[in-house]
Amino acid sequence: MTKYLFQANYVGEGVKGLMREGGTRRREAVVDALTSVGGSLECFYYAFGDTDVLGVLDVPDQANAAALSLMINSTGTVNMHLTPLMTPEDLDAAAQKTPSYRAPGQ
């Protein structure tokens, strides 16, 4: 499974829904959504400032992560961004690869 950092902001009716339902019920809704795509929640936090809610989740593949993101964002009540996370070992493996690339103007 791939880990993803998620960052989200409630917008419009989403803020009203959060205030009405509370944070615990919204976390439960995220867990239910993740379960529907074979994923799980590692951590979930509320914040204030640029981001309302953030955490780490596990999703089995990119297609399920994209489906989850599309479904959540399509509601118009939450603006969510997913960022795939890499382990130090993932970066070690990437550093051993030698892709071919020509820089602009060279």
Q: What confidence score (pLDDT) does residue 1 get?
A: 87
What residues make up the domain containing 31? Answer: 2-87
Residue 93 pLDDT class (50, 70, 90 cuts): very high
pLDDT in tens, 59-85: 999 999 999 999 999 999 999 999 999
The reported pTM is: 0.86
Answer yes or no: is 94 within a domain: no
Q: What is the CATH number of the domain that holds 52?
A: 3.30.70.1060
DSSP of 16-51? HHHHHH-HHHHHHHHHHHHHHTT-EEEEEEE--SS-
Answer yes or no: is 41 within a domain: yes
Number of domains in the chain: 1
Check whether 106 has a pLDDT greater than 90: no
Answer yes or no: is 76 within a domain: yes
Q: What confidence score (pLDDT) does residue 94 get?
A: 95
Element (H, E) at 79: strand 78-84
d(CA 65, CA 88): 22
User: Largest Cα–Cα distance of the chain, in whole Å?
Assistant: 58
Answer yes or no: is 97 within a domain: no
Answer yes or no: is 98 within a domain: no
Answer yes or no: is 9 within a domain: yes
